[in-house]
Amino acid sequence: MDKINQLTTELIAPCGINCSVCLAFLRDRNKCYGCRSDDLSKAKHCSVCKIKNCEHLSAIDSMFCFDCPVYPCLRMKQLDKRYRTKYNMSNLYNLQLIKELGIKEFFRLEQIKWKCKECGGTICVHQGYCINCLTKKQEIDSNNG
């Protein structure tokens, strides 16, 4: 696996969430390196995540939930609803894109989507603003088409 594919695979959770735009990944202190990382400092909710640790997913030895025979399960639907409502992001849509375009292209599109148009930093999905310059995502979206 080439380096970019390894990096992108590690940063995209089985549920389709992009860990590289997560507050825990973007912060300087107690940094989390994604739910797939072996790092013990990752966020506790990532370590105990029922989706990441799902017996169906491990039984089929797959990287993503879309390969699961019960996809989308109730947990995935609930997570998707929460993320669509609170953060204007759909993990089910993300998984659809990964399946259709591949992980490398999905990650490339995500980098464009979450890049701050003001300073080039990263917009945090959970905070809704750029971690570097604090420009809000909606301000960036409305000012730049």
pTM: 0.82
Tell me whether residue 23 is in a domain: yes
Residue 145 falls within a domain, yes or no?
A: no
Structural domain boundaries, residue 96: 3-138
Instruction: Give the DSSP per-residue string, 73-99.
Output: PHHHHHHHHHHHHHHS--HHHHHHHHH
Show the tokens assigned to 110: 């995500």
Range of 25-39, 42-56, 63-77 with top mean pLDDT:
63-77
Number of domains within the chain: 1
DSSP 49-73: -TTTT-HHHHHHT-SSGGGSTTPSP
Domain-embedded: residue 144: no
Q: Is 133 helix (H, G, I), strand (E, B) or coil?
A: coil
β-sheet bridge partners, residue 12: 18
Kindly tell me if the per-residue pLDDT of 139 is higher than 70. Answer: no
C-alpha to C-alpha distance for 92 and 74, rounded to whole angstroms = 12
pLDDT at residue 6 is higher than 70? no
3-state secondary structure of 112: helix
